[in-house]
Structure 1
Amino acid sequence: MTNPHGSFIWYELMTSDPDGAARFYGAVVGWTVAAHGDAGAPGGVDYRLIGRSDGGHAGGVLALDADMIAGGARPGWLGYLYTPDVDGAIAAITADGGTVHMSASDLPVGRIAMLADPQGAPFYVMNPIPPEGAGDAPADVFSTTEAQHVRWNELATSDPDAAIGFYQKHFGWGQEGAMDMGALGQYRFLQHGGAMIGAVMPLMEGYPVPAWTFYIGVDDIDRAVAAVTANGGRVASGPHEIPGGEFSANGVDPQGAAFGLVGPRKG
């Protein structure tokens, strides 16, 4: 894999209703989610790929079964960070106060584990096995400019300084620049692989626990926001103009997973 260590290489929606989620994100974003889970998925889980209009993949959908829900799993989005050494990452992260939510395991697509940073925000680490014929092609689920890709990764956390230091140390991220939000504190920008990939902000009212929010690129922010409410979701905030002239919004899908949207205003 040619992605640098610490890159976001996959995004996963955990949901109680994959068919409902497919209809929702199809209308809002333009994605196509497979109608059925992969019959070869380990443990018989219902796991479906998210397809983009350009033929690539935007991530996957994991159907939460009764056992997962009984164990505390809830609808939500998670990101996968690339590491060539999953077990080494687990050891280093737990030594620095992180926790293991799912131990390392080998899947047909690679070795993965689910962890949480010291403040409690969950994420996956993964050393993937490229699909047959893909060679060393980089994962392209994240893009700073393209619709139907995640375009921004935002961490709300109880300790921004500690969180920034953690991701700098373990994933090689940079932190330069910030936007003053007044009484809400600083919105501090993150860089990786020569690009601005997101930001860290203080945990605010409405964010019960530290968590990542992923902003999905759309072709028209007003069309997408209208589609959220028309298809059973809820708009939590926005659209708000952001630096550069585009707009962002936050929402909750019909199953309860929080997400963000970002794109131009065409009206």
Structure 2
Amino acid sequence: MSATHGKFIWCELMTPDTGAAVDFYGKVVGWTTTQMSVPGMPPYTIFEANGVGVAGLMEFPAEPEGKGIPPNWTGYVAVDDVDQSAKDFAANGGSVRRPPEDIPTVGRFAVVADPHGAVICIMTPAPMDNPPPEAPMGSPGQVGWHELYAGNGEEAFAFYSKLFGWTKDHDFDMGAMGVYRIFAEHGTQTGGIMTKPPTVPMPAWCYYFNVPAIDSAIDRVKAGGGTVLNGPMEVPGGSWIIQASDPQGAFFCLVAPKR
């Protein structure tokens, strides 16, 4: 495995109202936007923090909408060989939801799911001549944490550890809610995995965006027509989080170093 295999590299929102999403997340997270044009592909908006792309936005296609899938955020994980990784997902009890295909000038990707149905994207990025510098951990506007509400936390960690090379950083005992496993990618803490509580309808990944302070962010979420579903809550290490939904119903989370 290369030094990038298993690394989260992108986050993407599919929503029926891209204009509303640009306005909402611009105010809540502080993102600016640019447009990207790829031949043969639908329009694509890049969310930027300090002039560097951190996430993408595209209009919700009619096909998944008709299947009852809500607007959603999805993460992308870099893999050395997307075709082989898609086969590995299927061979280890997961599934391939969209077979590997090329995005001209960007890379080759597939949509996959783990054995309990949590969906994620995998991608082998196209080589870049001048890749942008990585922002420091915790920088505002960056994706600060990746969290899996798993069908079974232990089984999910074993699955992703095998396919992405993730390692156990440490476990946090959450009492009645079970064990929260913090995992590392190439030695860097990058997310957590836990067995989902009954209130979460299906196994799913969720993504935390960095903001400077949580209380003012809550005000911006509410003012923009979003809904705070959980929090504010202090987490181990002293950060504060909320879980929320945007005006179109996409689930997202915010994390900040202070109230």
TM-score normalized by the length of structure 1: 0.90
- Distance change (3 Å), C-alpha of 1:33 and 1:41: farther
Q: Hey, what does 1:63 align to over in structure 2? A: 59
Q: Hey, what does 1:51 align to over in structure 2? A: 48
**Residues paired across the two proteins, number:** 257
Tell me, what secondary structure is at the counterpart of 1:42? coil
Q: Which amino acid aligns with 1:121?
A: A
- Distance change (3 Å), C-alpha of 1:129 and 1:192: same
Q: Hey, what does 2:244 align to over in structure 1? A: 251
Is 1:28 the counterpart of 2:36? The answer is no
- Distance change (3 Å), C-alpha of 1:181 and 1:41: farther
Indicate if the aligned counterparts of 1:186 and 1:201 stay in contact, CA closer than 8 A. yes
Give runs of aligned pairs for residues 237-248 of structure 1, distance below 5 A: 237-248=230-241
- Return the match for 1:146 from 139, 143, 146: 139
Structure 2 distance, partners of 1:105, 1:72, is 24
Q: Hey, what does 2:149 align to over in structure 1? A: 156
Indicate if the aligned counterparts of 2:52 and 2:132 stay in contact, CA closer than 8 A. no
Is 1:229 the counterpart of 2:229? The answer is no
Identity, in percent, stands at: 39
**Per-residue deviation at 1:223?**
1.0
Indicate if the aligned counterparts of 1:41 and 1:47 stay in contact, CA closer than 8 A. no
**Per-residue deviation at 1:184?**
1.1
- Return the match for 1:113 from 110, 115, 118: 110
Is 1:83 the counterpart of 2:79? The answer is yes
Over 6 Å off, 4+ runs? none
- Return the match for 2:100 from 104, 125, 130: 104
- Return the match for 2:124 from 127, 133, 136: 127
Structure 1 distance, partners of 2:33, 2:67, is 26
- Distance change (3 Å), C-alpha of 1:61 and 1:140: farther
Indicate if the aligned counterparts of 2:111 and 2:120 stay in contact, CA closer than 8 A. yes
**Per-residue deviation at 1:139?**
7.5
- Distance change (3 Å), C-alpha of 1:138 and 1:161: farther
Structure 1 distance, partners of 2:186, 2:133, is 13
**Per-residue deviation at 1:72?**
4.3
